[in-house]
Amino acid sequence: MTSDAMTSDLHPDQPSADRHSKTHFRRVPVELGARSYDIVIGEDLLAHREIWMPLLEGRQIALVTNELLASLHAPKVRDVLAPHAASFIQINLPDGENYKDWQHLQLIFDALLHHRFDRRCLLLAFGGGVVGDMTGFAAACYQRGVDFIQIPSTLLAQVDSSVGGKTGINHPSGKNMIGAFHQPKLVLADTRWLQSLPPRELSAGLAEVIKHGAIADRAYLEEVLANMPALLRADPEAMVAAVARSCEIKAAVVGEDEREDDRRAVLNFGHTFGHAIEAGMGYGVFLHGEAVGTGMVMASELSQRLGLITAGERELLLSAIAAAQLPMKAPAWSTAEYLKWMSVDKKARAGRPRFVLLQGLGQAFMREVDEAILDLSIKACLQ
């Protein structure tokens, strides 16, 4: 896979700390004026203190993670970072999308207040999308806003949820309906964490990688499909290249439209159907990436029925989704059931869902669609 000029080597002549690796660190800037920050991508990033130490030195630090990582990798992170903090605490959240709610968000606030954390404190989100979203939302709210750093441990978080400042929690009626825009100070996307991901989690992350190609770069989508065997085994070079290119695409869109007033909505390709599936099935039954993969099957069917993409273009997208070992069949609900869940999607207007559609592979836009053609598209994806 290739990367354009938006990505640069952090140390152009210096390989990763693993002398057997051929990968280099990459830096993708997210250009947002005073809120700008870098995404740093590579292996063993914690060993390179020049990247992160200026942000941590002498501050109260709270490492927020989940119970699974607390027993696996969090001790390594704590041992490296804690000596640089004025004080250091660790907050372990339950693991799973079904815990992304007000009740468990309070665990973060309770710990910060108990340890008398002030407005100069720094939160570190070490985990997947749930930990990142909840930590970011807590940082946006605590004492009206404190700094945080994303250390995403899953592929989905590295290519999507850790970038762009969307934070929040779920409501029983809809996913991510309560939250805030709050940008991190730094994203450390260490691809070494991906080596221990279960296959299902890796596939879920590849859904967002595929999405970025579908909406912005057909050649990238074709490269992802060609490199799928390497990506499924978390090959270091393939992963660094994929994470970097996906982050470039997302950073460019976020730089144009930070608060999703218009252009940024294209990043939700597959998500209108996907969020409906997640909420309707119960959070955690489908992983987010699995729901997005199925949602892209449905959104591409809708795009083809509207004459926006060809059968061949859709087949290329479906081939990538299938190669990533993602589910291809939607829950067998009525159109009315889908509309019930989609009516509370954040892109909806007055309860009417709007859909991100493909205008050929590599381009996307958003619009409402006629219910009759929506009905036909949904039924086609249930067969």
One domain, residues 177 and 222: no
One domain, residues 61 and 159: yes
In tens, the pLDDT along 222-256 reads 999 999 999 999 999 999 999 999 999 999 999 99
Our count of domains for the chain comes to: 2
What confidence tier does 3 reach under pLDDT thresholds 50, 70, 90? Answer: very low
One domain, residues 154 and 177: yes
One domain, residues 91 and 215: no
Amino acid at 264: R
Q: Which residues pair with 187 in a beta bridge?
A: 39, 150
**311, exposed or middle or buried, with CB in 10 Å at 0-12, 13-18, 19+?**
exposed
Give this prediction's pTM.
0.91
- Please say which residue of 146, 177, 197 terminates a domain: 197
In tens, the pLDDT along 66-106 reads 999 999 999 999 999 999 999 999 999 999 999 999 999 99
In tens, the pLDDT along 63-77 reads 999 999 999 999 999
H-helix or E-strand spanning residue 90: strand 87-93
One domain, residues 129 and 217: no
One domain, residues 284 and 319: yes
Q: Residue 328 falls within a domain, yes or no?
A: yes
Q: Which residues pair with 37 in a beta bridge?
A: 30
Read off the tokens for 190. 């260490």
Q: For position 351, what pLDDT does the model report?
A: 80
In tens, the pLDDT along 37-52 reads 999 999 999 999 999 9
In tens, the pLDDT along 130-168 reads 999 999 999 999 999 999 999 999 999 999 999 999 999
One domain, residues 38 and 172: yes
Read off the tokens for 361. 């592979």
One domain, residues 69 and 110: yes
Q: Mean pLDDT across the stretch 328-351? A: 89
Q: Mean pLDDT across the stretch 310-328? A: 98
Output the domain CATH number for residue 125: 3.40.50.1970
Tracing tokens 């249930």 back to the chain, one arrives at 382
One domain, residues 165 and 221: no
One domain, residues 10 and 156: yes
Catalytic residues: 144, 166, 208, 250, 260, 264, 268, 271, 275, 288
One domain, residues 188 and 331: no
Whether the pLDDT of residue 11 is over 70: the answer is no
Q: Mean pLDDT across the stretch 252-274? A: 92
Output the domain CATH number for residue 339: 1.20.1090.10
In tens, the pLDDT along 176-206 reads 999 999 999 999 999 999 999 999 999 999 9
- Please say which residue of 176, 197, 218 terminates a domain: 197
What confidence tier does 383 reach under pLDDT thresholds 50, 70, 90? Answer: low
Percent of the chain's residues with pLDDT above 90 = 87
Question: Which DSSP string do the residues of 334-371 spell out, in sequence order?
Answer: -HHHHHHHHTTSTT-BTTB--EEEESSTT-EEEE---H
Tracing tokens 């381009």 back to the chain, one arrives at 363
Among 231, 171, 236, smallest CA distance to 203 is for 231
Tell me if 136 sits within 8 A of 182, measured CB to CB. yes
Helix boundaries (H) for the chain: 49-56, 67-72, 74-81, 102-114, 129-141, 155-156, 199-216, 218-226, 228-232, 236-256, 271-281, 288-305, 311-323, 335-342, 371-382
Print the domain residue range for 115: 3-197
Higher pLDDT, 346 or 147: 147
Q: For position 17, what pLDDT does the model report?
A: 36
What mean pLDDT, rounded, does the chain reach?
Answer: 92
First to last CA, the chain: 35
Whether the pLDDT of residue 352 is over 50: the answer is yes
Whether the pLDDT of residue 115 is over 70: the answer is yes
Question: Which DSSP string do the residues of 104-172 spell out, in sequence order?
Answer: HHHHHHHHHHHTT--TT-EEEEEESHHHHHHHHHHHHHGGG--EEEEEE-SHHIIIIITSS-EEEEEET
C-alpha dihedral, 111 to 113 to 118 to 120, nearest 10°: 30
